[in-house]
Amino acid sequence: MASGIEIERKFLLAELPPTMRLARREPIRQGYLALDGDTEVRVRITPKRAVLTIKSGRGGVRTEEEVVLDKRQGDALWELTEGRRLQKSRRQMRIDGHDVDVDEYAGALDGLVVAEVEFVDEESARAFEAPSLFVRELTGDPAYANRNLALFGLPADKPA
């Protein structure tokens, strides 16, 4: 039940790094229950658990609270997210001592690969040098926010 302040930077990848293809991946489906200004409330369901997440704030620094749901509640709340859902597979790696989630999207977002790098403070976030396979920074880009990917699909400006 990770909670509190989250500092991360987000990058577009041209493809899933070949060295990660065989890494363990966790299928994730998530849907948005409520979107209200800077606040979003989402349900995320993985094979292990269902979690309700409330995020508030913009850009690199956001407040995030997670509440674990039982299966019945996860399913009931999922029903309320129709038309605002996405699916992806998450793999995890380390770069320069930072935890990195690499998300390969599926369904309507097939072909999109995004990495989120987590930092312990803003100084290390600023100091991070992205490897060459990270083709563009997406931090704070609303078109690539998951809520907008779920609502509107792939951004038109995505490089092939």
Residues of this chain that bind its own copies (CB under 8 A): 3-4, 33-36, 39-41, 52, 54, 56, 63, 65, 67, 69, 72-73, 76-77, 80
Q: Which of 52, 60, 86 is nearest to 141 (CA)?
A: 60
Question: Closest distance between its own copies and the C-beta of residue 51, in Å?
Answer: 10
Measured from the CB atom, is 24 or 72 closer to its own copies?
Answer: 72
Question: Closest distance between its own copies and the C-beta of residue 18, in Å?
Answer: 40
Measured from the CB atom, is 34 or 120 closer to its own copies?
Answer: 34
Q: Which of 142, 151, 117, 85 is nearest to 13 (CA)?
A: 117
| 144 catalytic residue (yes or no) | no
Question: Closest distance between its own copies and the C-beta of residue 116, in Å?
Answer: 22
Contacts (Cβ under 8 Å, ≥6 apart) of 117: 8, 9, 10, 11, 95, 98, 99, 100, 125, 128
